[in-house]
Structure formats: structure tokens, C-alpha cells
Amino acid sequence: MTQKTEFFIIDFDRTLADSDKLLEAFIEVTTEYIAIPREQIEAANRDVRQRGDSFDTAGYVRDHLNEMDRGEEWDTLEKEFIHRLRARLPELLLAGASELLEWLRARGSSYGILTYGNPLWQHMKLSATGFNHEQRIVMEHKHKGRLISSWQQSDGSFVLPQEFGGGVADAIVMLDDKAVSFEDFPAVPSRGYWICDPMHELPSQRGTVPANVQRCNTLSDALATLRH
Ligand SMILES: [Mg+2]
């Protein structure tokens, strides 16, 4: 009998990376480089967050520069953001993030990053954290489970998209902090880990997950379970 192959799908924001710190760093660079009040960015961010969406911070700032006829300054800002964050990288990742990827590589497991949000901002964050070298897909809607299920064939296997290497897997293992990501997620043998600490839960993370998805407080807890 051949071994069943699993493909691991890992979320980026609030699963691998500390998204609050990434946003804070971007606001820092932005307020330093261009005359846009911090309060203005924070207020816009808050409005969108309350609706449960990801705020397109980068797009907001880029539009602002364009409106002021200073669009050419965007490249400098983007480069400075990536440069500065790379210098302080370990603290921008959540506990267990590097260990998880090391564990996957060591056991020869295939994996990819599946992230939801505005492409401009997502790519900037992925570059700043060095994940632009990993297999990745940026989606503009939050229905990850539905997307993954669409790869499933009548024999139960999954034909992976080119961005994830284009191979075939028998099961998907997904780690994500948002319950909504697991809507329409495929059944066993696929499984998931919903990484969300009830003590610090955000409205956008809340919800119910299917029975083959286990709740873990932290990424380190999920990794401990995976290793078991
Ligand atoms: Mg997330």
C-alpha cells in the first residue's frame, strides 16, 4: 500500500505572522515618510475591522499619495517598509511559526501559504517576512474551504493548483485562525487546526468549525499536536 500524501495549507495573518505588528510598522514608516496623520490611517482601519474585513492599508496610503500627486514616492515607501521589517523579523512571527515550517521541511511534507486580503498589502507583508520564497496563493475572498474543496476529484484526491506545485494529495491539513476559513472544508481524511485563543478572540475569528477541525489556542499547541 502506498503512503497517503498530505498537503499542508497554512494561513499567514495571525497564524504565522503578528499582523498587528506588521500594520504598526507600516503606519510608522508611512507617518515618517509622508504627511499622513496616524489617526487618519487608524480610523480607516478601525472602520473596516468592525465590518470583519481586512483593511487595505497599503492601498489606502498609495491612493492618498496619488491624490496628492506624489504617487512616485510609493516605491520608496514600500522598499523602506520591507527593509525595516526584515531587520526585526523574528519578533514579527508568532511563536511556533519557524518551528512549524522547519518541521514540515524536515519530514518532507509539502505545504503552501493560503492568505486572504488585498494583493498589494498581502504581497508586501509576505516579502517583509521572507515568505515570498514559499509557495503561496493570495485570495480576495475569505472562502478558503470552498476553494480547497473545488480541487477535490471524484476519487477523493486533490489536484493542487500550479501555485502549490500542481501535484496530487490524498488529504489537506489546514491551519488557520478564522473559523470562516473552514466553511465547506473537505471531510476526513482532510483535517484542520483552528488556531484561536478564546481569551483574545477577535470578531472576525469567531464561528463554528466542522468536526474534523480541532481548536488550538496557539500555533505551538497545534504543532505539538501534529508532532504527536
Ligand atoms: Mg488569518
> 3 C-alpha to center of ligand 1: Å?
30
Number of other CB atoms surrounding residue 67 within 10 Å: 9
Domain boundary among 64, 89, 114: 89
Q: Minimal CA–CA distance to 115: which of 50, 54, 60, 194? A: 54
Statement: residue 159 has pLDDT above 90: yes
> What is the pLDDT averaged over residues 11-33?
91
The model's pLDDT over 161-209, given as tens digits with 9 standing for 90+, comes to 999 999 999 999 999 999 999 999 999 999 999 999 988 899 889 999 9
Report yes or no on 33 lying in a domain.
Answer: yes
Q: Does residue 61 sit in the same domain as residue 25?
A: yes
pTM assigned to the model: 0.91
Q: Which three cell numbers stand for residue 27?
A: 503606519
Confidence of residue 221 (pLDDT cuts 50, 70, 90): very high
Please give all residues whose CB falls under 5 A of ion ligand 1, grouped by chain where several chains appear. 11, 13-14, 177
Identify whether 148 is part of a domain. yes
Q: 68 and 149 share a domain?
A: no
11-31 mean pLDDT: 92
Question: What is the distance in A from the centroid of ligand 1 to the CA of 155?
Answer: 30
- Look at the chain and report how many structural domains it folds into: 2
Distance 52 CA to ligand 1 centre (A): 12
Higher pLDDT, 57 or 120: 120
Pull the grid cell for residue 194. 483552528
pLDDT at 196 (0 to 100): 96
SS3 13: strand
Query: Of 29, 63, 89, which residue is a domain's last?
Result: 89
Q: Looking at the structure, tell me whether residues 140 and 199 fall in a common domain.
A: yes
Cβ atoms of residues 45 and 24 within 8 Å: no
Question: 126 and 13, same structural domain?
Answer: yes
Residue 67, pLDDT above cutoff 80: yes
* Pair (151, 193) in one structural domain: yes
11 Cα: distance to centroid of ligand 1 (angstroms): 5
Where is the domain boundary, 89, 106, 139?
89
pLDDT of residue 34: 78
109: CATH = 3.40.50.1000
Q: Which amino acid is at 24?
A: E
**Do 103 and 83 share a structural domain?**
no
Statement to judge: residues 146 and 60 lie in one domain:
no
What separation in Å is there between the alpha carbon of 107 and the centre of ligand 1? Answer: 25
What pLDDT was estimated at residue 108? 95
- From ligand 1's centre to the CA of 2, what distance in Å? 34
The answer to whether residues 13 and 36 belong to one domain is: no
Assigned domain for 132 exists: yes
Report the 10 Å Cβ neighbour count for 75. 9
117 lies in the same domain as 66: no
Q: How remote is the CA of residue 178 from the centroid of ligand 1, in Å?
A: 6
Residue 50 sits in the same domain as residue 139: no
Does residue 1 sit within a domain?
no
| CA–centroid distance, residue 13 to ligand 1 (Å) | 4
Same domain, 169 and 209: yes
Backbone angles phi and psi of 8, in degrees to 5? -95, 130
* Cα-Cα-Cα-Cα dihedral sign, residues 197, 200, 201, 202: negative
- Domain of 177 in residue numbering reads as 6-17+93-227
